[in-house]
Structure 1
Amino acid sequence: MRSLFLIFLSGLWFYTKASDVNVMDYGAKGDAITLNTIAIQKAIDACNRSGGGKVFFPEGNYLSGTIELKDNVVLHVQKGATLLGSTDMEAYRNLDPFTEGLGIDVGWALLVAVDRRNIGIEGGGTIDGQGSKLKAAHILKDTRPEGQRWGRRPFLLRVVRCTGVQVSDVTLKYAGAWTSHYFQSKGIRIERLKIVSVGVAHNDGIGIDGCQDVVIRNCDVESGDDALVFKTTSSKMACKNIKASGLRLKSHQAGIKMGTESMANFENIEISGCEIRDTRNGGIKLLSVDGAQIKNVLIADITMNQVRTPILLRLGSRLSVFRKGQDVQQQTGSFENVVLKNITAVSADSTQLKSATGILITGVPEHRISGIMLEKIRITLPGGGAVGEADAVVPEAISQYPEVKTFGPVIPAYGLWLRHAQDIRVKDLELRTKAADHRPAVFMEDVQQAQLTNCAFRAEGNPAAIIKIRSSDAITLEKIQAVAKANLLIDADTASRSGVQYKSGQ
């Protein structure tokens, strides 16, 4: 994959010390009681009018509603200072409304920048949305079911159609909804960020939505929802030219996710050198379900520990539209040149499925998922799959929300499940289980042009076959090892048998 990131070495960010200001000089009080929205906004506006600079928050706790960032202004929240989000819902504004993947209207935020240039947040301090307290106050006035009312709660940080954005050396805590959302913006650097955002639903960590020329480095994220998530809620701008590295990710949902909303493409994205732990709904999930092409994506050098279902790759046809009146429905998307390599994962003992499966790769009828390379993958799973589970029928879920549980409760393979797939290459794959598993290691259905080379399946058990193939063609298997006492190494049905080539490699 070609290098795409020299653009970040120059011209991304500038700062001219023109008129630094202190929020206290405009009437702000760091007593955690006074609502400082107007005072803080006055300080930002004054800094902007004077040509830009830094807006300083000295030590203290500054309570506020929605604050709008302006051109050439950096918020410097110094160590010992906290910007506190108000627990009064009426203190927040929505400057860019849209509908997210579950169909909920969202967009309110504590910190927001719309159509701005050269903005930043820094300083070693904290921005705390008080999400749990906000929710408690909210439900006293809003009696709708939680699934309908949560969208009214504010994000912590929203950056919309901005150029030149730097967020570094701050802590983001306890958002009312998504923690940070960057939409259709360019030239973004996110570095040494710490996120601890749990306690209410939909606490995504870092959300990149149709942004380009992005660097994310050396961040710690503990989130209630997806830790690092790429979206395209509009078809008008792709997620493109993005590099993320050195991240430590913990989540109640997925560690790395792409495509919860997926109208525009995801292109030229590299994610490397990351640690994922304790995720409850997946380690790495790449999804195109609203029309996106996922192209030239490399995910490498990843360690995962105690993750529920390490890898899910999904091409679907939900085809939702998220910005009503601004966009139109797309056609089903595609995958091209997607590489996952040098990945080590240990599954949690309990997963979303009745019996754990390591890798799920599936398209839909008439739209095969394709162009995928898996190399040097090591996965340890709990095992325990029963003989009868090898015959499980998996729902197609063509238009449903893309999650692992959508395909449950049982997958007919413990290791690699492939369906409606084409041009899939798997090299140097090792799968092992802690307990015996009586399902095949690999199950293929409606697969064309797949290669499995140098694969080791180290699971005890008595499956009917190690590899089960149905309605498939142009399948090449080479250097396959297995320890299970299976009746067959390969069980291919009549439609597939002539199209399977096996090389022992001995």
Structure 2
Amino acid sequence: MNQTNNDALSRRKWLGLAATVTAGSALPGAAALAAGPSDKQPKDLGARVYNIREFGAKGDGVTLDTAAVQAAIDACNRDQGGTVLVPAGRFVIGTVELKSNITLHIAAQGVLLGSADGRQYHAVDAIPLTGDSTLADGNVGLLFAVKAENITIEGQGTIDGQGAQFRSPSKDVLPPAGITGSHRPYHLLFYQCRNLTVRDIFLLKSAFHSTRVVQCEFVKMEGLRINSRVIHNNDGFHFISSRYVHISNCDIQCQDDACALFGSCQFITVTNCSFSTRWSVFRFGGGVAENITVSNCLIYETYGCPIKLRCGPGSRFENISFSNIVMKDVTGPISLGLGPQPTHAQSDAQPTHPATGSQASTTASQPTGILRNISFSGIHATVVKPVQLRDAEFTSNYNPGEVYSCVVLNGVGEAVMENISFNDVHIQYPGGGTVEQATVRDVPKVAGEYFQLGVLPAYGMYARNVKALTLHNVRFSLASPDYRPAVIFDHVEDAAVNGLSARGVKGSESLFRLIESRDVLLTAVRVLTPTDVVLQLEGPGCGNIKIDGGDLSKGGTPVVFKAGANREAVKL
């Protein structure tokens, strides 16, 4: 009789049973007793700990431990889940698959170190690269999961992708790892997973995007620190067609998009996070993006565009809120684009994405996109001219439109964005705009990257093809003089501007410029510094413009009319 049976059937119980047995009879339940509890399900099934060292992992920073880590995960999965423990040590791995019902716990002194040998990574064939262009960036992960559920990655440890080994020293030369482009691995790659949690870990120096989440539901990213500035397209988070995603208490320092949402992303919240990047923080592109809130975030040292929405044909963006956001030392800072994206052939001199060198394309056969019900509140920003990121390992170039940047609402062609609101928005700009820049009227009609519009003729806000625009308690200030208008409305209809304060410059054309715009109410407007003209109307389409109250005493001439604008179009 084994020890388990001894524990289950004590001597006293045995004697008690024996006393009740009559001669020639069998023990009651003898067959069951003989089988014993070994046939029963273990009490800790699904809750065991699988230390990767017990599966052969060395953790010496040299030995390849991929097979050992995978063996621990497979065993845990076979036993209906549990915790796979990465203890103290540096465990070199290539591609590893995570599976359902597993918690990967990385101890504080534990490191999963991505191999510097590109041969240790392989594509995940179950993740398609065709059909949806947003998936075409690659399907290789350091850690990946496909159609799995109940996965958690946690702990105070580190996942280090050794991304610098995947950076080419020059064009057409392979990097030390021997692979480049879409063959490089993400830190984390998830496809069609449910109930996914990643918390507290440190994601360091990815070879590509850090965390890529594709067509997943019920996702939580909590307390993460991401630092990836070794490759031009080091994204932080990259979500594609995912729903019920919640990001909180994360610190992201990356090189490309810090939090990209592509495809059809819905029911997303981002709160209590900080971001710094060369390019964009919140970037929306394609598909249906709706029911999304971003709140209580700090954006700093972001030399691209902190909030960037690109809504092309066939896409719909609506019910998106940005609130309580501080931006310190940024360019941009907000850019909304609606309409066809420019093609490669549109302009040989067309600027390119500073991080990837790419240019956007368009599909003219699709219906006009929809961009509406977007709100910005409690935004306080300091805009600067871009400089190099302090800890980047390479030099970035900047386009002229990034050096002279402003808030951009840009509808192109027949596309009109609707119901856009700004409440309690205070932005300080660096200034430096010239008289010549202020005279520009032919702003390129493209809805691509904001810098493709060139140097805009406004320093604070440029709005084109917008209906139902609200500005309440908005203040545009300058660190140095700027001869461009603070605000330009170009084909704007139904705008309510209340409590707008802006700085002007003597010798400029005007502080505000309205082009072919109508049904605009300006109340409690304040001109903060002397300027020659407050409002300039251009075009016969201007009409029903009302200025009610405010302080225009430093503004010289209240209104001037140009390009066929009718004096009856405005009422003071």
TM-score range, shorter chain: 0.7 to 0.9
Matches within 5 A, 1:437-476: 437-476=482-521
Q: CA deviation at 1:461?
A: 4.1
Q: CA deviation at 1:101?
A: 7.0
Gap change, CA 1:419 and 1:191, over 3 Å in 2: same
Gap change, CA 1:319 and 1:465, over 3 Å in 2: closer
Gap change, CA 1:206 and 1:57, over 3 Å in 2: same
Q: Tell me the residue number matched to 2:430.
A: 382
Pairwise CA RMSD:
2.6
Q: CA deviation at 1:51?
A: 0.3
Give, in whole Å, the separation in 2 of the partners of 1:171 and 1:56: 16
SS at match of 1:486: coil
Summarize deviations over 1:250-282 as a string: whole Å, max 9, x none: 1111222222xx1x2111111110000000101
Matches within 5 A, 1:321-470: 330-350=366-386, 352-353=399-400, 356-392=404-440, 393-398=442-447, 402-408=448-454, 410-470=455-515
Q: Are the counterparts in 2 of residues 319 and 331 from structure 1 also a CA contact under 8 Å?
A: no
Q: CA deviation at 1:41?
A: 1.1
Gap change, CA 1:308 and 1:91, over 3 Å in 2: same
Q: Tell me the residue number matched to 2:294.
A: 271
1:128 to 147, 160, 170: 160
Q: Tell me the residue number matched to 1:5.
A: none
Q: Tell me the residue number matched to 2:389.
A: none
Amino acid at match of 1:283: P
SS at match of 2:499: strand
SS at match of 1:427: strand
1:90 aligns with 2:126: no
Matches within 5 A, 1:134-213: 134-135=166-167, 142=174, 149-213=180-244
1:79 aligns with 2:108: yes
Task: Identify the range of structure 1 (457-466 vs 200-209) with the bigger mean alpha-carbon deviation.
Answer: 457-466
Give, in whole Å, the separation in 1 of the partners of 2:170 and 2:431: 43
Q: Are the counterparts in 2 of residues 437 and 462 from structure 1 also a CA contact under 8 Å?
A: no
Q: Are the counterparts in 1 of residues 168 and 174 from structure 2 also a CA contact under 8 Å?
A: no
1:252 to 278, 282, 306: 278
Give, in whole Å, the separation in 1 of the partners of 2:406 and 2:316: 24
Q: Tell me the residue number matched to 2:328.
A: 305
Give, in whole Å, the separation in 2 of the partners of 1:474 and 1:449: 5
Q: Tell me the residue number matched to 2:267.
A: 241
SS at match of 1:496: coil
Stretches of structure 1 lacking an aligned partner (at least 5 in a row): 1-14, 233-237, 321-326
Give, in whole Å, the separation in 1 of the partners of 2:259 and 2:242: 14
Q: Tell me the residue number matched to 1:4.
A: none
Gap change, CA 1:405 and 1:101, over 3 Å in 2: farther
Amino acid at match of 2:429: L
Q: Are the counterparts in 2 of residues 86 and 134 from structure 1 also a CA contact under 8 Å?
A: no
1:315 aligns with 2:338: yes
Q: Are the counterparts in 2 of residues 337 and 371 from structure 1 also a CA contact under 8 Å?
A: yes
Q: Are the counterparts in 2 of residues 447 and 473 from structure 1 also a CA contact under 8 Å?
A: yes
Summarize deviations over 1:120-172 as a string: whole Å, max 9, x none: 100110001000013359989749xx9x9422211111111100000001000
Give, in whole Å, the separation in 2 of the partners of 1:98 and 1:374: 39
Amino acid at match of 2:297: C
Give, in whole Å, the separation in 1 of the partners of 2:266 and 2:63: 42
Q: Are the counterparts in 2 of residues 32 and 61 from structure 1 also a CA contact under 8 Å?
A: yes
Summarize deviations over 1:390-418 as a string: whole Å, max 9, x none: 122321124xxx3222111x101111101
Q: Are the counterparts in 2 of residues 463 and 485 from structure 1 also a CA contact under 8 Å?
A: no
Summarize deviations over 1:422-473 as a string: whole Å, max 9, x none: 1211111000001111111111212222221110002444321111111222
Q: Are the counterparts in 1 of residues 524 and 550 from structure 2 also a CA contact under 8 Å?
A: yes
Task: Identify the range of structure 1 (191-200 vs 383-392) with the bigger mean alpha-carbon deviation.
Answer: 383-392
Q: Are the counterparts in 2 of residues 97 and 107 from structure 1 also a CA contact under 8 Å?
A: yes
Q: Tell me the residue number matched to 2:34.
A: none
Give, in whole Å, the separation in 1 of the partners of 2:237 and 2:231: 16
Counting aligned pairs with the same residue, the percent is 30
Task: Identify the range of structure 1 (300-309 vs 467-476) with the bigger mean alpha-carbon deviation.
Answer: 467-476
SS at match of 1:54: strand
Matches within 5 A, 1:10-25: 17-25=46-54
Amino acid at match of 1:185: C
Give the number of the structure whose alpha-carbon radius of gyration is greater.
2
Gap change, CA 1:451 and 1:191, over 3 Å in 2: same
Gap change, CA 1:141 and 1:502, over 3 Å in 2: closer
Stretches of structure 2 lacking an aligned partner (at least 5 in a row): 1-43, 344-362, 387-397, 552-572
Gap change, CA 1:65 and 1:319, over 3 Å in 2: farther
Q: CA deviation at 1:94?
A: 2.0
Flag the structure with higher strand content. Answer: 1
TM-score with structure 2 length normalisation? Answer: 0.78
Gap change, CA 1:120 and 1:180, over 3 Å in 2: same
Q: Are the counterparts in 1 of residues 225 and 251 from structure 2 also a CA contact under 8 Å?
A: yes
Q: CA deviation at 1:57?
A: 0.6
Give, in whole Å, the separation in 2 of the partners of 1:191 and 1:211: 17
SS at match of 1:435: coil
Summarize deviations over 1:75-101 as a string: whole Å, max 9, x none: 111110110111222221222243797
2:260 to 229, 248, 263: 229
Gap change, CA 1:138 and 1:34, over 3 Å in 2: farther
Give, in whole Å, the separation in 1 of the partners of 2:297 and 2:468: 27
Q: Are the counterparts in 2 of residues 97 and 105 from structure 1 also a CA contact under 8 Å?
A: no
1:215 to 246, 254, 274: 246
Amino acid at match of 1:135: R
Q: CA deviation at 1:102?
A: 9.4
Amino acid at match of 1:307: V
Gap change, CA 1:138 and 1:93, over 3 Å in 2: farther
SS at match of 1:38: helix
Q: Tell me the residue number matched to 1:323.
A: none
Give, in whole Å, the separation in 2 of the partners of 1:135 and 1:278: 23
Q: Are the counterparts in 1 of residues 323 and 378 from structure 2 also a CA contact under 8 Å?
A: yes
Q: Are the counterparts in 2 of residues 319 and 330 from structure 1 also a CA contact under 8 Å?
A: no
SS at match of 1:124: coil
Summarize deviations over 1:96-123 as a string: whole Å, max 9, x none: 2437979964221111111000001001
Q: CA deviation at 1:356?
A: 2.6
Give, in whole Å, the separation in 2 of the partners of 1:115 and 1:159: 8
SS at match of 2:68: helix
Give, in whole Å, the separation in 2 of the partners of 1:64 and 1:200: 20
SS at match of 1:25: helix
Summarize deviations over 1:18-54 as a string: whole Å, max 9, x none: 3321111111110111112222111111100100011
